[in-house]
Structure 1
Amino acid sequence: MEFTPQEKRSESLDAIRGLAISLVIARHYFGFKYGMLGVDLFFVLSGYLIGGILLDSRDRPGYFSSFYGRRAFRILPLYWLLLALLPPAHWGYYLIFMQAVPWLQFGFSQSDLTFVTWTLAIEEQFYLVLPILIYWLPRQWLGRILWGGILLAPGWRWLFHAYLPDQSWQFLLPARLDELFGGVLLACFARGYCRSVIGWAMLAFVPPLCDIAYAATAEAFAFLSVTAFACCLIVWLGANIERPQLFRPLIWPGRRCYSLYLFHMVVYDIFFDLGRPLSGFVALPVVCLLAEISWRVVEAPLINYAKRRFARAELTPLAMVGSAGRH
């Protein structure tokens, strides 16, 4: 099955979102050991979807305004609501998604209910970089830069682990580039950017081998490149699956994953004294109800408004000729 750019918001990819948020909630509510793999899956999926959107619209008028306008209406309202309900220390950094600055100074407050925003900070910093790369770089240089970020990611993690406090190697953008850029490369591959499948496959195995080699010679602290590789396979299979209806139970949480992610720890904290797993079983229907209300009252209306307000303009014949010459 082939997907047009509009169809790439497919039920199968929504189901992958549902799987990702289900893993995260299972981790926090029921102590599922491998639940944080959901975060890795989110990063790869974000790279794939956002990369695809930007690649398809790189030559259209309103490239930047359309992208950032839609992202702002999607992300900021609920994010600012969370900060208003639970004002964190150093909240000014949170407003501009730079909360890692005080965390590096005073420690990573992983018990804070707003700490879940570390993933949003990475995503927003990624959104600042990627549109510029895709807009300005020719096709061959875009691929090289993306591969450069992926191949350097294990090195960044090793440096952060050695010289920065706490678990900085998990929570800073350079350490997650193999997941984010890996998703973008999948989008590039789907659009014919790959000249050598064998060459790309050989490069893809380098970061996981680096992680394995480091684990064999020193204290093992991360296999994020191995995880990124596995998540890329999952996203690629999900994007090309023939029967997405098999994953229908995951579509509902997938489309409401943003509010589920932002507020699941807030709800859990209310019932924390009940103890695990009882508190998880009580909190789960409550956060699902809140997510449904949020989707119907806040998210879906704002998404629809942003689509109308920041509609992507079509290329004129003259602009198509110019873009063909540029690329």
Structure 2
Amino acid sequence: MNRISIFAFLLDMTTQRFPHFERFLWALFIALPIAYLLTIFLLPRLSLLVYGDVPIRISVQALGESSSKSQSKEVWLNTPVGVTPANAPGWDIRGPQMVAYQEPFTPLVLDLSAASEGLTFIRQGWSGKVKISAGDQAMTLDLYSKNEASFTVRPHELILRAHSIYLPFVASVFFGVLLVVTVFLQLILRRDRILQVVVDRPIHSKNMRYVSRLDHLRFLAASMVIFYHTFTDNFGLGHSTYNPFMGLVEQGHMGVGLFMVLSGYLLTSIAYGKQVKYFDFIKNRIIRIYPLYLLCVIVMLCGWRLDYSFTQALSLFFPFVNTLQDVKLPLFGHLWTVAVELQFYLIFPFLVRFLEEKGVGFALALLAVTVFFKILLWKSMGSVTNVSYITLLGRIDQFMVGMLVAYLVKRFMDNRKISPAWLLASLGFAAVVISIFAGNEGLIGIDQSWFMALWPTVEALMWAFLIVAYAHANFQMPVSLDLSLARLGQLSFSMYCMHYVIIPFTRGHWATVGLASNGMLDVIVQSAFLTIPCIVLFSMLTFGVIEKPFLSLKSRYAGGQHTHKKLIPA
């Protein structure tokens, strides 16, 4: 390499082609999980440095109260070192654990040092409420959970709370570390070739004009599913809240509905008014989904090969059976949606042609037919939840609503912008629907109700309103933010497929901000600051190695204009 080529290489390495704000956004995003883990590491050490190893007096008091769903008022605790029946009156010591389950509920008093393991409680269906006092501070915890799980209150949490500085201390450490790490990463990302690995501009479709905001919604859908699974891993199903923001977490499976409405909307936006080459369309869909899906299948069959018969393994390679009876799907049980998507792709070219020929009436009639059969199944079986949730009959409403809305947009709006007030209205409508649904315990609460036959359609209308309002809202977004969100949306399929691969690595790490680790607030913060960024970083790898090389093989499947006449005007 001569001097000129070396100089050109170095110039290319240092020239700043990316906007500063975009560098900052990616540096901040990558810094989040690093700062979160460093905070976990630093908190006990800083607490020990500030307050020393002087034991603190702790009181653990079973309150004899239970939540509305708990079957009892028990408080289970892993027996702390040094506690014996003699100094734990009112507590029944059972091997490595101890329990307070009947009156009088005598408080357990012990001295806890900063070097100890802390207090590990057991959440379960028989658990009640407990009060933990440290110094002048006290906190009450509801230990009820449908799924049995343990969680630990660390000594440094109790020591810092006893001095009434816990949350300010945690926030100071986290944001201080986040600032330092972000600045350091920005220096590294000044080299464009390094940043290009992270950014990788979104790939435009060969069949339609690229709309970045739809990719934003893909990222929202994937994130909702991740929040949902981290929540149910800790708290189980059947929770109730009228808070729409909490509802997005507790009922985050609605992200699947958003994915499906988006599929119908996007594919119809591409195919409207054009001739669709059926086999080219199917080839493109297989290229888009199968490479990463097959990797997941191979991992399952290699790791858990004894759990599958030959026919079951074959069903995984050709996913037209939504669920396999008595078969474990470790890490990838959520991929039942791939079967539903593929079933829809097989009939989409016909549906879009009939929609154009027959108009809105065809879509409404098809929706009516699917709802009728779901109500029929409800009357026969008493529940239609599984049908509505994991089958094409249940989900065809959502694809069809997406198709219908795209058809109407193409005919009457196309590239027109609308007032941001419509976006606010769509968010308000979504908040009302989510509040009512989540307030009635979601799928669990309406499992036996006839309304479950209608729910996929209602959910689809909510998402369709939001999709149109957001995609066409007349407001400007900073280009760096727009492209960064679009990049995250580009990774959404990898995020969806791979999130349970990463969750086991992040599940046990908590920088507690609530009353105790694994609390609702902790799950949200841990998911946002640690789990989702880690999943995104891993998804960059799977997208770049598995998905992206195959995307170049896609071809144009929609072209030319239809020559047929509409049979029924819209």
- TM-score using structure 1 length: 0.75
State which of 485, 488, 495 in structure 2 corresponds to 1:253.
Answer: 488
Is the contact between residue 323 and residue 336 of structure 2 (CA under 8 Å) also seen in structure 1? no
Q: Is the 8 A contact 1:14 1:254 kept in 2?
A: yes
Distance (whole Å) between structure 2 residues aligned to residue 300 and residue 314 of structure 1 = 24
State the Cα distance separating 1:96 from its structure 2 match: 1.9
2:313 aligns with 91
1:50 aligns with 2:272: no
List structure 1 segments (4+ residues) > 6 angstroms apart after TM superposition.
none
Q: How many Å separate the matches in 2 of 1:22 and 1:302?
A: 25
CA change 1:146–1:46 in 2 (3 A) is same
SS at match of 1:191: helix
Find the partner of 2:356 among 136, 139, 151. 139
Aligned to 2:345: 127
Unaligned runs of 5+ in 1: 195-207
Query: Map of 1:207-226 to 2, 5 A cutoff?
Result: 219=449, 222=452, 223-226=455-458
1:177 alignment partner in structure 2 = 396
Q: Distance in 1 between matches of 2:558 and 2:466?
A: 32
1:131 shift after superposition: 0.9
Deviation at 1:37, TM superposition (A): 1.7
Q: Distance in 2 between matches of 1:25 and 1:250?
A: 17
Structure with the larger RCO, 1 or 2 (CA within 8 Å, 6+ apart): 1
User: Counterpart amino acid of 1:267?
Assistant: I
Report if aligned partners of 2:397, 2:460 keep a CA contact under 8 Å in 1. Answer: yes
- Which shifted more, 66-75 or 240-249? 240-249
Matches within 5 A, 1:55-66: 55-58=272-275, 63-66=277-280
User: Deviation string for 1:8-62 (max 9, x for gaps)?
Assistant: x31111111111111111111245213112111111111100122222432x6xx
Output aligned runs, 1:1-327, within 5 Å. 6-7=208-209, 9-31=210-232, 32-58=249-275, 63-87=277-301, 89=308, 90-100=312-322, 102-103=324-325, 106=326, 112-135=330-353, 137=354, 139-141=356-358, 143-161=360-378, 162-163=380-381, 167-192=386-411, 219=449, 222=452, 223-243=455-475, 245=477, 248=482, 250-272=485-507, 276=518, 277=523, 280=527, 282-306=530-554, 310-312=555-557, 314-315=559-560, 323-327=562-566
- State the 1:225 CA deviation: 2.5
Distance change >3 Å, CA 267–CA 190, structure 1 → 2? same
Change (3 A) 1:295 1:145: same
Name the larger-Rg structure: 2
- For residues 21 and 269 of structure 1, do their structure 2 counterparts lie closer, same or farther at Cα, with a shift above 3 Å needed? same
Note the C-alpha offset of 1:192: 2.0
Determine helix, strand or coil for the equivalent of 1:324: coil
Q: Which amino acid aligns with 2:298?
A: A
**CA distance in 2: counterparts of 1:138 and 1:123, whole angstroms:** 19
Deviation sequence 1:281-308 (CA, Å, 0-9, x none): 65433321111112223322321232xx
The structure with more strand, counted as a fraction of residues: 2
In structure 2, do the counterparts of structure 1 residues 99 and 312 end up closer, same or farther at CA, with 3 Å as the change threshold? closer
Q: Which is helix-richer, 1 or 2?
A: 1
The 8 Å contact of residues 51 and 184 in structure 1, kept in 2 or not, is answered as yes
Task: Give how far 1:266 is off.
Answer: 2.2
Residue 115 of structure 1 aligns with an amino acid whose one-letter code is: G
The answer to whether the Cα contact below 8 Å between 2:280 and 2:556 also exists between their aligned partners in 1 is yes
Matches of 1:40 and 1:325, distance apart in 2: 33
* Deviation of 1:80 (Å): 0.3
Distance 1:269 1:99 in 2: 27
Q: Percent identity?
A: 23
